[in-house]
Structure 1
Amino acid sequence: MRWMWIDRVIAFEPRKRLVAVKNVSLAEEHLHQHFAAEGALAPCPVMPSSLILEGMAQTAGILVGSVHDFREKVVLAKVASATFERDIHPGETLRYDATIERMDDMGASTVGIVDRYSFVDNAWAPVGRIELMFSHLDQNRAGTEFPEENFVFGENFRTLLEGAGLRKFTRL
């Protein structure tokens, strides 16, 4: 099973920027464990920072992969930095805004800004900033076989792109 931590692509500037959103719902099982009720403490469901980071990695990875029409196997090579200013709760929407800082044959570096929309406050607010580095496996490990199922660019990914009107990329 491939976990998708973005729901929809809302903006795309080829070779530059991709923006995606994730609606956080109490129906998501991981929220019941993070943080569950304990003793006299009431439950306080919060989206784990690691999953917020994964959502940005998927957003930025799609952007990096799109540069070469998804012909390269793109993998997350390094989390250069990640800072988070606030927790994310059910009922809020995350917005991942990824931009490419550097791109070459071996990989790319990206910067991502994460915001959240609270329907209670009726406003966007900053959540954090994430700097990621990606590697092109085909360039860096030429001759090595890598199973296709290990990469994000599968059927769910195609459906996500098609829903965003990016049909050009769904014929992989």
Structure 2
Amino acid sequence: MDIQWIMRSLRQRYPFLMVDRVLEHEPDRRIKGIKLVTINEPYFAGHFPDEPVMPGVMIVEAMTQTAGLIYSDAESGYLVALNNVKFTRFVTPGDVLVIEAEALERVGPFAKARVRATVDGQEVSRAEISYKFMSRGRE
């Protein structure tokens, strides 16, 4: 699934769109996507100029967006909880962040996914992420 499908499915836009491509997708079951990490990312100007490292919060955002695409039938998803978040390696410009997620449960408007991010086959982060899905414009 290309960037056009991703942009139809997610509300985020530059500089917060953190999924570049979906490689595999089984709706309501699992997904595998990538984020191409380039030196042109706006956060690298200040994190850190002499030794650029992707902020953990941006890794989590990429994981959250990718995992949320498992539930591509939902109109709009919002992050409601992060559990068991771990960071195990730095992500730097030139890395390809591969994000794999599996659905854990979905009850009414709530859903949970287990997510793992890797670079070159080495884990950089993992988490359990919970969402609330609703129609756009509703709170």
2:134 is the alignment partner of 1:137: yes
Helix, strand or coil: the match of 1:89? coil
Partners of 1:145 and 1:47 lie apart in 2 by 31
User: 1:32: how far off?
Assistant: 2.2
TM normalised by structure 2 equals 0.83
**Residue of structure 1 in register with 2:124 after alignment:** 127
Counterpart residue type for residue 48 of structure 1:
P
2:9 is the alignment partner of 1:25: no
Residue 106 of structure 2, aligned match among 103, 112, 115 = 103
Two-structure CA RMSD over aligned residues (Å): 1.9
5+ residue gaps, structure 1, are 37-42, 118-123, 139-143, 148-172
Helix, strand or coil: the match of 1:90? coil
Q: Which has the larger radius of gyration?
A: 1
5+ residue gaps, structure 2, are 1-11
Q: Report the structure, 1 or 2, having the larger helix content.
A: 1
**Residue of structure 1 in register with 2:28 after alignment:** 15
User: 1:29: how far off?
Assistant: 2.1
Cα deviation 1:123-149 (Å, max 9, x = unaligned):
x211121111011235xxxxx9539xx
Residue 114 of structure 1, aligned match among 101, 114, 117 = 117
Partners of 1:10 and 1:88 lie apart in 2 by 20
TM normalised by structure 1 equals 0.68
Helix, strand or coil: the match of 1:61? helix
2:88 is the alignment partner of 1:85: yes
Partners of 2:24 and 2:137 lie apart in 1 by 33
Residue 58 of structure 1, aligned match among 65, 88, 91 = 65
Partners of 1:107 and 1:101 lie apart in 2 by 11
User: 1:8: how far off?
Assistant: 0.5
